[in-house]
A and B are shown apart, each in its own frame.
Chain A
């Protein structure tokens, strides 16, 4: 099974239509053009489907970059 972070990276590249290599540890809306409010909704929906989790509003406030998204999903999967 691929590691969680590889999956997240893959999904982000797909949703934001950028090469996989562009998704870095600190990637955030600051450096990915398509990561705007609509991009965020698309990303969250894709992640919820892939990992079979549900994000609350307060979760979303903490999902500010790649690393933080990874931590949030790990927390959700552990719960």
Chain B
């Protein structure tokens, strides 16, 4: 497994003042063009030129294969300018473009913006905007002019960042059963929530729309198995909040039952990555952000640590390491007044366990003193308690078992 090293620049806020920008400063975005991108772009703009959307038509032309809309690639210039250089508050008022080479499905494009000139009088900048493909060929080139809208610090705090009075929590893996329930309960407990998801946005989107103040729930996407996804999440967090009151980590890969002789070290790595590596990285990168508010960090371990479930060695080992991380961080981060705790549920009735045979679920429930499986609500209540420093401010390095009495000693 490759341990990733994220540069400390992610600790910096993303939107910049004019004075912070220097000539030669660069920012980039990388994106792989898919057939779906082209279809979405055609749907949005109505440009369904068959050279773009019809493979058999494209075959009859000199291009031979479908070509992405030139403006599709160029759209990512907007992403670089609007989110990175200069970021929030960028007012893009001019852009020249020259399309040099076609971009095709599967191409990975790198969009680089570089500051060429600063105009002090109007506080605007000129940037070169160049797009390369994976073969380092220039496919698009042009220049942009961007004005940086001045934001007064007090207004900036009110408008873009959460004010001092608001409690704000980060929920990583918020689209899962435990994640979404924790998000709901945090909102009910007057937290603003930055909810991270990877692929399943629908339920979170519906929750957001159902809120009286939808802005209290901020959705951020990122595939945490990729360095890029982790960076994307960290960037988004910086844009939404300068400090966090709580971080709840619930992300998990799928957890297949595997016989001991069939286990491969890769099975362990998959579990360790999302149960140990990413929680470690996020806590490390967000340490100052969490320290600013004496935050509560909550991880999810499992009953299997104390009473192993069959055929889950890979999972149980990774979760045991997460327990080690919980206690070590609780000790080391106590100096910064960051509390780190865990909840340890028994088998819960969530999507993650959807593949578990009905018999196993029934047997587990029957053998549990309280005669049922854990519900996401049971787990989320304990999570919110541990996350909220006004409720559990003197608890750290602790694990709350949520197992209906199956293990108690």
Contacts and interface: CB of A to CB of B under 8 A. Distances in A.
A71 B358 contact: yes
A26 to B, nearest CB: 7
Interface stretch (A2-10, A32-40, A59-67): A59-67
Instruction: Give the size category of B's interface with A.
Output: under 10
A62 B359 CA distance: 9
A28 B358 contact: no
Interface string B330-374: 000000000000000000000000000011001100110001000
A14 interface: no
A32 to B, nearest CB: 14
Interface string A5-33: 00000000000000000000010101000
A62 B371 contact: no
B371 A68 contact: no
A23 B371 CA distance: 17
Q: Give chain A's interface secondary structure class.
A: loop
B360 to A, nearest CB: 10
B260 to A, nearest CB: 20
Nearest to A62: B363
Nearest to A72: B359
A28 B371 contact: yes
A71 B362 contact: yes
Interface in B214-246: none
A68 B371 CA distance: 13
B366 A71 contact: no
Contacts of A71: 358-359, 362
Contacts of B363: 62, 64, 68
A64 B368 CA distance: 11
A57 B371 CA distance: 22
Contacts of A30: 371
Contacts of B362: 65, 67-68, 71
A26 B359 contact: no
A65 B362 CA distance: 9
A71 B365 CA distance: 14
A71 B357 CA distance: 11
B48 to A, nearest CB: 54
Interface string A52-79: 0000000000101101100100000000
Nearest to A71: B359
15 contacts: A26-B371, A28-B371, A30-B371, A62-B363, A64-B363, A64-B366, A64-B367, A65-B362, A65-B366, A67-B362, A68-B359, A68-B363, A68-B366, A71-B358, A71-B362
**A-B interface, 5 closest residue pairs, ranked by CB to CB distance from nearest:** A64-B366, A71-B359, A65-B366, A67-B362, A68-B362
Given A28-B371, A68-B363, A68-B366, 9 more contacts: A28-B366, A62-B363, A64-B366, A64-B367, A65-B362, A65-B366, A68-B359, A68-B362, A71-B358
